[in-house]
Amino acid sequence: MQNSTPNFKKDKYSIIKSIIPLELCNMFIEYAKLQSKFDFTYEVGTEAQTDKTHSRYGDFFTEALLLYLQPKLEAHLEEKLLPTFSYYRVYKKGDILAPHVDRNSCEVCVSLTFGWPEAEI
């Protein structure tokens, strides 16, 4: 794990590079691609943030990632964390995620990027 200049307590954000081993990242990329191809789901209605883009709330793989990352994040942030939910989205070319505010249970959010910029499906 390499730390960047931002300090979580002072700046209210932090950047942690390489917190997940490359092999696990690659496994998740393949998993998400397969889910997108064979069990496509997407947000609908007023809650939709991207149009017809595969996404999954509470997926077992991402729930396991929450538990895997929890001790690493607690050590880095020097705070106890309570995992509340996981969510992933497989972006298509042209998708845009507009700035938004997550729900109140997201006191601390972790955003992970897998497979960028090669993530063409």
In a domain, 4, yes or no: no
Average pLDDT over residues 76-102: 86
Q: Is residue 9 part of a domain?
A: no
Residue 80 has pLDDT above 60, yes or no: yes
Catalogue the long-range contacts made by 45-53 (C-beta closer than 8 Å, 24 or more residues apart).
49/97, 49/98, 49/100, 50/89, 50/91, 50/95, 50/96, 50/97, 51/95, 53/89, 53/90, 53/91, 53/92, 53/95
pLDDT tens figures, 35-44:
989 988 777 6
Q: How many CB atoms lie within 10 A of CB 28?
A: 19
Within a domain: 8? no
In a domain, 106, yes or no: yes
How would you classify the pairing of strands 2-3 and 16-17? antiparallel
CA distance linking residue 83 with residue 18, whole number of Å: 20
pLDDT exceeds cutoff 60 at 4: no
- Report the pLDDT averaged over residues 51-64: 89
7 lies in some domain: no
* Domain carrying residue 30: 19-121
Which H or E run contains 55? strand 55-57
Residue 108 resides in a domain: yes
Whole-number pLDDT of residue 121: 42
pTM value is 0.79
Q: Let me know if residue 54 belongs to a domain.
A: yes
How many domains does the structure of the chain reveal?
Answer: 1
The answer to whether residue 12 is domain-embedded is: no
Tell me 118's DSSP state.
T
Decide: 31 and 61 in contact? Cβ < 8 Å.
yes
